Amino acid sequence: MKVVVQRTKDAKVVVNHQVVGEIKKGFVLLVGFTHTDSEEDINYCVRKIANLRIFDDQNGKMNLSIKDVKGDILSISQFTLHADTRKGNRPSYIEAAPPEQAKALYDEFNEKLRQENIKVETGTFGAMMEVSLVNDGPVTIIIDSKNR
User: Omega into 138 within 30° of 0, i.e. cis?
Assistant: yes
Burial class (CB in 10 A: 0-12, 13-18, 19+), 7: buried
Alpha-carbon gap, residue 115 to 99, rounded angstroms: 24
Q: Is 80 a catalytic residue?
A: yes
Catalytic residue among 8, 34, 78, 122: 78
Q: Is 125 a catalytic residue?
A: no
Q: Is 6 a catalytic residue?
A: no
Catalytic residue among 27, 33, 79, 109: 79
Active site residues: 78-80
